Amino acid sequence: MIWGFSAEHLGPNDYYYWDDFWAVAGLKAASYLNTAYEDNDEAIYLEGESKLLLDSINQSLRQVEERLMRPAIPASPYRRMDTGAIGSVSASYPLRIFCANDPRVLDTVDFLMKNCLVRGGFFHDMTHSGINPYLTLHLAQVLLRAGDPRYFSLMTAVAELASSTGQWPESVHPNTGGGCMGDGQHVWAAAEWVLMIRNCFVREEDGQLILCSGIPQIWLDKKQPIVFGPAATSFGDIQITIKPHGQNILIEWHGQWLRKEPPIDIQLPGFKKVRVPPTTNSFILRK
């Protein structure tokens, strides 16, 4: 376990799970790079180190579950559940260390959704003392990944907090709607919004691409084509078009793959999940 201040929004010095999760992901990324450069011995070593660290984290989380009498992940092994637990959802988004439906992450999100929302956004009472757009979007990303439709209410809340120039302060005062902490035009918030929209259309999961899993019905009700991309993925660039087709929906895509075409699933809400055949570039989803 790693001792440090971590991000300033988690609190005083402690053994933060945030740091540990990022360390696991860093070791896995280093292993991936060594594999790419054909240094297999170093790749195996780093992958092994990441697994050892993750085993240590899981052992700690089992003890915490006994103490808290719930699977949720606090900010550190010694903390109660509070708004600092937002750092622990990084195990799902953006790091994908834990699976999409990991009960520990989902219980953490449930706690934060039930206890820490103001005006529909995540209110962080440590340091920020306001509604935080990018951390609200972290919650939304975890819910999107888990197939939980509550992601869209969080997206909507963040959109409503945007300034007239389409920007967000780092933290929003719940009464004035203006900034109360950090940058006036927070680049991190803007980047998280772009990533949120991108993941609604296309995201990676377990060596495959998932298309359209975050497209809400209200967008489809306009009965107009929706075009997204080209956007970068770990497999190459992809452009996606969603077209109303009577009561059905036509999904078209064009990929410029770095290597071979990845497996592709379409998971448009309200329709059955589909694994599309290889070399396919369109598919009609039927009601």
Task: Tell me how far the alpha carbon of residue 48 is from its chain's centroid.
Answer: 25
**In the predicted model, what is the mean pLDDT of residues 192-212?**
97
Q: 2: pLDDT confidence band, cut at 50, 70 and 90?
A: low
First to last CA, the chain: 50
Tokens of 160: 């409503």
How do residues 95-148 score in pLDDT, each as one tens digit?
A: 999 999 999 999 999 999 999 999 999 999 887 889 999 999 999 999 999 999
Q: 30: pLDDT confidence band, cut at 50, 70 and 90?
A: very high
Q: Is the pLDDT of residue 210 over 90?
A: yes
The reported pTM is 0.94
Q: 255: pLDDT confidence band, cut at 50, 70 and 90?
A: very high
Find out whether 217 and 269 touch, Cβ atoms under 8 Å: yes
How do residues 171-184 score in pLDDT, each as one tens digit?
A: 999 999 999 888 88
Query: Any idea which residue has 């999904």 for tokens?
Result: 251
Percent of the chain with pLDDT strictly greater than 90: 86
**In the predicted model, what is the mean pLDDT of residues 216-222?**
94
Compute, in degrees rounded to 10, the torsion defined by CA atoms 4, 76, 19, 26. Answer: 150
Find out whether 133 and 161 touch, Cβ atoms under 8 Å: yes
Residue in 92, 103, 197, 95 with CA at minimum distance from that of residue 145: 92
How do residues 44-95 score in pLDDT, each as one tens digit?
A: 999 999 999 999 999 999 999 999 999 999 999 999 999 999 999 999 999 9
CA quadruple 170, 17, 194, 141: dihedral sign: negative
Query: Any idea which residue has 């540990």 for tokens?
Result: 20
Q: Which range is least confidently modeled, 7-16, 70-79, 185-194, 254-263?
A: 7-16
Mean pLDDT of the residues in the chain = 94
CA distances from residue 181 to 64, 156, 162, 186, 194 in whole angstroms, order as listed: 32, 22, 15, 10, 22
Tokens of 268: 């448009």
Q: Is the pLDDT of residue 276 over 90?
A: yes
